[in-house]
Amino acid sequence: MKPPPALAVIGHSSAGKTTLLERLLPELASRGLRVAYVKHSSDAHPLHRPGSDTARLDAAGAALTGFATPDGTQLTTRQPLSPSLLARDADRVDLVLVEGWKDGPLPKLEVWREGLEAPLAASRPDVLALVTDAPALPPAVASRPRVPATAHAVADFLTRWLGQVAARPDVRASNANAKPPLPEPRGVTHRAVRRFDGDTLRAAEDDRVAVEEPLEIRVNGDPVATTMRTPGHDRELAVGFLFAEGILNDRDDLGSLFHCGHPGEEGYGNVLEVVPAAGAVLDLERVEATRRGTLTTSACGVCGRRDVDDLMATCAPVAPGPVLSAHTVARATERLRDIQHTFEHTGGVHAAAALDAHGELLASYEDVGRHNAVDKVVGALVLAGAVRAPLRLP
């Protein structure tokens, strides 16, 4: 069955996303559309009340955890949000709306109003339109479609979009044995490429290539590091980098993480501000002390450290872990290939994944830099509370 169309509704905090969706869902229902709603958060939140029966059984390893009452049934899973997860109820809904997930692979609507930071659409080509009551859009997004911030107008836009999606051919229906194309991740762009076949230079044709852009990591406004990375999951990258450097001990050291910048500035959207939690002190001198410096690259290796002994001097010993079966180890590389969506399109990125002792996927990311991919995985585990430093490094 063809999966239902899914769309993310993004915007800055207090832009009015939830208020708009509250008005939009009844409007879409009145037009006969069955709509699923998912709230996405980049911050760690418990899915069950701490100490409750469901929390205890979820922690015990249940693949699905449910809570049923006379008013309905709620099921939770440990799987991260993905298009395939959204497609599970394809026979029950006509449209899936995800509030948030601005770095996800879905097409997007951005809710924006005057007085907020510059629109996110300036650095996100997958934003279909901006929903706003502003008389004019900022220059950086002036060419984007604009939809009035009313439930009726947005429902009209979505109805037209659903018609366009329905008119597209279903690849799986035309060729049951063909592998359906993956949605393009954010780290993919298009370029005209001319290939040399050994005799002649062929005419230019469209090709998909991996994106590489700089990310500046700041802590309380002070630049700490700049790295070339594949855009997307910058929060995880920054947290993983700071954790690996011994600057960050665990997620409790974090107050907030957010992108900053202004339209027209070079690298707009490529600056991430890290604000420590109240009372937390992040030792930024560690970056200088480890000689990693304030400039990193997407290259592999020890990244500026003078030798392996220098690196090992700052690493705390790791306690012995579980013994892995040969099957689990062999299956691990297959699991890694399963998540390489950007590589599927471009052949130009690395991937890293974390799995538990049973081979279950905990986190996985791609990046042009292999150590960036690892930092993203580590950052995701830190943000989830699954990893913390055993002690403060000397």
Count of CB atoms within 10 A of residue 175's CB?
A: 10
Six token digits for residue 345:
């399109």
Name 335's Cβ contacts closer than 8 Å, sequence gap at least 6: 353, 355, 359, 361, 364
Rounded distance, CA 72 to CA 173, Å? 35
Check: CB of residue 316 under 8 Å from CB of residue 391. Answer: yes
Give the 3-state secondary structure of residue 97: strand
**In b/e form, how buried is each residue of 322-357, taking b as 16+ CB within 10 angstroms?**
eeeeeebeeeeeeebeebbbbbbbbebbbbbbbbee
Whether 300 is catalytic: yes
DSSP state of 61: T
Rounded distance, CA 199 to CA 92, Å? 55
CA angle 305, 307, 311 (to 5 degrees): 65
210 phi and psi angles, rounded to 5 deg: -75, 140
Phi-psi region of 359 (alpha: psi -120 to 50; beta: other; left: phi over 0): left
Rg from Cα positions in the chain? 23
Rounded distance, CA 167 to CA 324, Å? 49
260, 300, 303, 315: which one is catalytic? 300
Containing H/E element for 322? none
Q: Secondary structure of the chain: what % helix, strand, coil (to 5)?
A: 30, 25, 45
CB-count exposure of residue 120 (10 Å: 0-12, 13-18, 19+):
buried
Task: Give me the amino acid identity at 245.
Answer: E
Measured over the CA atoms of residue 129, residue 132, residue 135 and residue 137, the dihedral's sign is negative
Six token digits for residue 342:
């950007």
97 closest CA partner among 179, 27, 10: 10
Active site residues: 300
